[in-house]
Structure formats: C-alpha cells, structure tokens
Structure 1
C-alpha cells in the first residue's frame, strides 16, 4: 500500500513539475478576461516556430498541458488558448456542450478568440509567419475555422475534431496545409460530414490529408477518456502515439526550424 501511495505521489509531483513550466497569460476580448498558458521552446532557433493549441470542449486540461510541454521540448514555442474566458468555464459535459455549441454556431466569434490567442503566441516570441495551429475535439473544429477565416498560419492539425460547417456558408480558398487525425470508429462525426468536408477541401484547393486510426473513437489522444470504445470516447495509446508522430512529420514539413 505504501509503495502505491509513493508511486502516486511521485506521479503527481512529476505532473506539477511539468506544468510549472507553463506560464499563465491574461489577455482579453473586449471586457471578457481570458486566461491562456504559454511555454517557451527549450531550443534556440532563429526561425522561432510556434504552435497555437486549441483544447477540447472543457477548456484547458491536463492533456493539452502535457502536449504543450512535449512540443516545447521538440523546439516549439506554444500557447494554449482560452476560448471561453473567466466565468464561463464548463463544470460538466452539459455545460461544455452548450459553450462549444455557441462557438460552433457563431463561428466568427470563435475565429476572433483564436486570433486573439494567436496574437499572444506571437507576443511570447513565436515568428508570426512560422506558426501551426493544432486542436483537439472542439479545438479540432476551431483550427478548421482558423483556416477558413484566413488566419496567418502555415498549417492546421485536427485530432478527433468536428469537420462540418453549415452548407449555406461559401467555400473560400484555404491556404494553410491541413492534417486531419481521425478515429476510424468515431461516432460523433457522421459519414456525410466527412464526405462534405473532403469535398470542401477539394473545392477550396487545399493541400490536405486525412489519416484514419483503427479501433479508435472520439478523444483517442486523451488518457483521461477511459478505455471503453462503446461509450464513444476512449483513449487509444497506439493511435495517440501514431498521431503524435504524424504531427511531428507535418511540423517538420511545414515549419522552418
């Protein structure tokens, strides 16, 4: 029992050490206070590549913090965006669904919050012309909105994110390169949504790719999602590892280091 306790204590202390490298950044959208997190690259580079990270629907979580830490070790300055702001952080899935639903419907407000976070990433030292945005779940939806909104990005990467947009919206050219990392068994993204997205990419003349991971559902990169695929949300260690490797290949291709 004592051994287990010491193991858990050591794990918690290790996580606190990791997250201590992330620096809180307070910024604003008009009178709405936002609280992002920034972490510098551990490697010096004249190119100063940056990554804007959009978290899942509950906001900044341990998964996004750990990813930011890992990316900083690879040579990237990272900023984790706060989309909701003080007073609006979801307490449960129901509240998260309502908050995320608002920004999915009001996509211009979502694009604005992403741009404000992008500004903070640049202020923290990233090269404004050498940035990729990545997003998870709701954040994966956001990076596509960033691309559709013509934000100055070299590329965007979605992990188990929503792909759709209203059919009435016009299709405009998409210049950032696009990588979609998708769970092959994700019940949250319907086949017709995938087909519509792929047609949008063709019509937008985008440089895009979509990778499917077998035996993977929604949230396959998040260790806190459990391991029961029947619930529609579950962690898949193999898919998480492969998708992070695909992210690194994409970053090496798109960004200057």
Structure 2
C-alpha cells in the first residue's frame, strides 16, 4: 500500500508501521570506541521481542547522529526491528555549520578505509547489545549516510542488505561493486541536485556490470534530503512515505527471511 499526503511529520509516518502487541520500546545511548577516540551510538528496540533481533544499522547524515536518526530508530523499533544508529564523527561531535560538516565528511571521503572501519566498529558496538542481532542486519543511510552505506557494501561487508535514501551515488575511482554480498535498495529523487539522474544511471550501469542484485525507486520531482522533515523546502511527504514503505518491504525480505 502507498500513502500520499501533502504534509507529514514523524508521527504521521507511523501510519505505515504495524502495531506490535505489548510493545516495550527501550532506547539507550551506547558509548564505544575506535582506537583512542570515543563514539556515541543510539539503540532502540522492543524488549518484549527477546534477544538477537533482526537489526537495522542507521548511518547518519553530515550533521552527525541527532534527533532525526534517533526518531527513525524508534520508528523501526515500533515496527519490530532492533535499530542501532552508528556514529562516524565521534562523541559530542555534532557539527552545526555547513563548513564544519563539509570538513568532516570530506575527511572520511578522503580516507575510505577509515570510513569502513568506523562502520565496522559501530556494528561491533551494536553486537554487544543483547537485543541486537548484528549477524542479521541491514545498513540504512541518509544523504552522506547513503553514500557511506554504498561504501560499506563495496567493501564486501557481510550484511543482509544496504539501503540508500537520497545518498551520494558516485563511485570512487578504482572501486567496483564486485565484492558486494547482499542486495541494494536505492531510494532517490529525480530532482536531486547533489546526486543527479546521471549519477543514478551510472550507478545502475556499474551494478549491472558487476551482477549486483538491486532495486531502485525514483520519486518524480523529489529533491535532495526529501525524507528530512526538518528541511521544509525540500521535504516531500509523498516520497518520504513511499520510500519508507519500500524500505520496510526490503527489510521484510532481507531480514525476516533470514530470521
């Protein structure tokens, strides 16, 4: 089923989520480290569903792990998944200025090995939470996080799937998708000025060349960051709800089939 609304908030998106009987949603901040640097993730899960639950790893946008990712994690917990939002910037590093956000993300784009290692550290931190089943997990990323999810997929990470919401789609020089171990889902707007349709076409060609299982949904007229309800000029309620429903279908196939 698809829902189309003209305006929506996080609460309205919840209409797509089936009610879980006797839901006992637990949320907690999780401190962990990579090398000598401290990081701070966020876990959300329904404690009534027991241990080792199918898990969604959330990768944040360029402003760091904040209220948006936490809300998405809680929505996933309401839907019956454990969720863990990883931190790629460091504890307390939540950049406010465009300049600082660009500096932090560019540093990770310039050091892809570190980006991959930080995501693996986040996955390890998730695995230390009893309710979270990191052995059965899908990575989901928003904007910068969408680009990071594709980077993680190219690394050959042993996850059940990877989802990019309006993410950067360009493939770095020298990289391929030959090592991808699981299906990809690309959710993108046709009017994305950051990752235009030429990037979508190039990505599809590369995925076809490397025989990767993938699906794409393109939302006509949707701009970059179309799921961000804080971005009033770019937020697209219809595309948000459709993409969330597409992700839930993907999770049902990738996680529940392996549960």
TM-score, normalized by length of structure 1? 0.85
Match of 1:28 in 2: 33
- Counterpart of 1:142? 148
1: distance between equivalents of 2:27 and 2:51? 22
The count of aligned residue pairs is: 233
Q: Residue 53 of structure 1 contacts residue 135 of structure 1 at CA under 8 Å; is this kept in 2?
A: yes
Aligned to 1:105: 110
Structure 1 residue 128, shift from structure 2 partner? 3.2
1:61 offset after TM fit, Å?
2.0
Matched, 1:183 2:189: yes
Moved more, 58-67 or 80-89: 80-89
- Highest relative contact order (Cα 8 Å, sep 6+), 1 or 2? 2
Cα distance in 1 for residues equivalent to 2:87 and 2:74: 17
Distance change (3 Å), C-alpha of 1:171 and 1:39:
closer
TM-score normalised by the chain length of structure 2: 0.84
- Report the CA distance shift for 1:91/1:46 in structure 2 as closer, same or farther (over 3 A): closer
Alignment of 1:74-113 (within 5 A): 74-86=79-91, 88-113=93-118
Aligned to 2:76: 71
Partner of 1:231: none
Label 1:202 to 1:79 Cα distance change in 2 as closer, same or farther (>3 A).
same
Q: Which runs of 5+ in 2 are unaligned?
A: 1-10, 12-24
Pairwise CA distance, 1:48: 1.5
Please, which of 112, 122, 125 is the counterpart of residue 117 of structure 1? 122
CA distance in 2, matches of 1:64, 1:169: 28
Counterpart of 1:209 (choices 208, 212, 215) is 215
**1:37 and 2:42 are equivalent in the alignment:** yes
- The alignment's C-alpha RMSD in Å is 1.9
- 1:174 maps onto 2:174 in alignment: no
Q: Which structure has greater helix proportion? A: 1
- 1:214-251 deviations in Å (ceiling 9; x for gaps): 12101110110112xxxxxx111111111100111001
Please name the residue that 2:229 is paired with: 223
Mapped contact 1:84–1:99 kept (Cα < 8 A): yes
CA displacement at 1:116 relative to structure 2: 0.6
Equivalent position of 1:195 in the other structure: 201
Tell me, yes or no, if the aligned pair for 2:51 and 2:133 is still in contact at 8 Å.
Answer: no
From the CA coordinates, give the structure whose radius of gyration is larger: 1
Whether the aligned pair in 2 keeps the contact of 1:42 and 1:72 (CA below 8 Å) is no
Name the structure with the higher strand share.
2
Paired with 1:171 and 1:69, the residues of 2 have a C-alpha distance of 31
Structure 1 residue 188 displacement after superposition: 0.5
